[in-house]
Amino acid sequence: MTTLDTLELPETKDPYEPVVARLIETEPLTELERLFVFEPSDGQVLGHRPGQFVQVWIPGVGEAPISICSSPTRGRTFELCVRRVGEVTSHLHRLTAGEEIGVRGPLGNGFDMTAMQGQNVLVIAGGLGLAPARSVIEYVLDERARFDEFHVLYGARSPAEILFRHDLIRWRHREAINLLVTVDRPDEQWRGRSGVVTKLFADLPRLNPERTCAVVIGPPVMFKFVVVELLARGIPHDRIFCSLERRMRCGIGKCGHCQINADYVCVDGPVFTYERMRELPEAVT
């Protein structure tokens, strides 16, 4: 007879309980953003999908949702790109190698990379959106044979605000990726393209829309203009995947802080198809 003593119950973990992560190294990316390489102290891997996030917990300070910017194909460490804006992020910027923080996650749905296999992948990233996009980009590069054409369009406000410069140089020298970069406000030294990210569409080759998945990550203002370009190229609504940002608290669908109609961005998102977003008119306001 099965009793409560003999029944094997799956191990349940308190979703509010963070795991400890140790900072391995950190480097400045711009004046406001730093890259952090962490390793979970319990010896586990985070096991995330590109597009998921963690709730970073600084004891006595607070929590903040931060996207994982590394690919799950890159071993036991995970990376975060953090813009210093307030309490939690400023505290993170003061951390040095060897110090520990708490993280909950991975949280959110992330991008379904399996569904994109065999397809052309077109990533459009604006500003800090390159952080979660980097997880997608490195994943596709590491699993390159599984995908068809790979195009990445990235727009930053100014040359000084360009993120992941070393990665951009490395990616640009790979034949496996067509990377186009632009800045809104060029300076005297800038020799690249200028203008908003949608201008880069003019330099894209013709893509078969029925075999193309688009990944869109950036500030809300960018979405509508990018989606117009994608629709003009015939990319179906359910092949356009957008990552949304909403203010969050619990990150696990309990507090309602991130709710848009019936959807919780923290669990039903942050990735939504354009098809779904059309039913959430306040999604990008």
Ligand X SMILES: Cc1cc2nc3c(=O)[nH]c(=O)nc-3n(C[C@H](O)[C@H](O)[C@H](O)COP(=O)(O)OP(=O)(O)OC[C@H]3O[C@@H](n4cnc5c(N)ncnc54)[C@H](O)[C@@H]3O)c2cc1C
Q: Which of residues 85 and 221 has its CB atom nearest to ligand X in the complex?
A: 85
Does 127 bind ligand X (CB under 6 A)? Our answer is no
- Residue 248 near ligand FES by CB under 6 A: yes
Q: Does 216 bind ligand FES (CB under 6 A)?
A: no
Cα dist from 263 to 123, 276, 277, whole Å: 24, 10, 10
Q: Which stretch binds ligand FES (CB under 6 A): 156-164, 206-214, 255-263, 274-282?
A: 255-263
Pick 229 or 245: Cβ nearer ligand X: 245
Q: Which of 53, 154, 171, 264 binds ligand X (CB under 6 A)?
A: 53
Which one of the spans 9-17, 18-26, 62-70, 168-176 is the region binding ligand X (CB under 6 A)?
Answer: 62-70
Residue 257 found at the interface with ligand FES (CB under 6 A): yes
Nearest CB to ligand FES, comparing residues 88 and 183: 88
Residue number of the CB closest to ligand X reads: 86
* Structure-block tokens of residue 30: 């711009």
255 binds ligand FES (CB under 6 A): yes
State the minimum distance, in angstroms, from the CB of residue 85 to ligand X: 4
Separation between Cα atoms, residue 90 and residue 125, nearest integer Å: 24
Please say which residue, 20 or 61, places its beta carbon nearer to ligand X: 61
Reduced to 3 states (helix: H, G, I; strand: E, B; else coil), residue 264 is strand
C-alpha span between 43 and 59 (Å, rounded): 21
258 binds ligand FES (CB under 6 A): yes
Q: Phi and psi of 27, rounded to 5°?
A: -145, 145
Using DSSP, state whether 94 is helix, strand or coil. coil
Interface with ligand X, residue 241, by CB under 6 A: no
Please identify, using beta-carbon distances, which residue of 126 and 251 lies nearer to ligand FES.
251
Residues numbered 138 to 197 that lie near ligand X (CB under 6 A) are: none
Residues 6+ positions from 149 with CB-CB distance below 8 Å: 120, 121, 178, 205, 207
- Please list the alpha-helical segments (H only) found in 41-119: 87-93
Q: Is 79 in the site for ligand X (CB under 6 A)?
A: no
Any contact of residue 280 with ligand FES (CB under 6 A)? no
DSSP-derived secondary structure letter, 218: S
Question: What is the residue whose two structure tokens read 């880069």?
Answer: 200
Q: How far apart are CA 235 and CA 237, in angstroms?
A: 7
Residue 242 within binding range of ligand X, rule CB under 6 A: no
Residue 251 near ligand FES by CB under 6 A: yes
Q: Which residues pair with 271 in a beta bridge?
A: 243
- Site residues (CB under 6 A) for ligand FES, limited to 65-84: none
Q: For residue 251, how many other CB atoms are within 10 A of its CB? A: 25
Task: Report yes or no: 153 and 123 within 8 Å, Cβ to Cβ.
Answer: yes
66 binds, among ligand FES, ligand X, none (CB under 5 to 8 A by kind): ligand X
Q: Which residues contact 223 (CB under 8 A, 6 or more apart)?
A: 216, 242, 284
Q: Across the strands, what pairs with 35?
A: 27, 81
- Give the footprint of ligand X on this chain (CB under 6 A): 53, 62, 64-67, 81-83, 85-89, 128, 131, 245-248, 270
Interface contacts to ligand FES, rule CB under 6 A = 248-251, 253-258, 264, 266
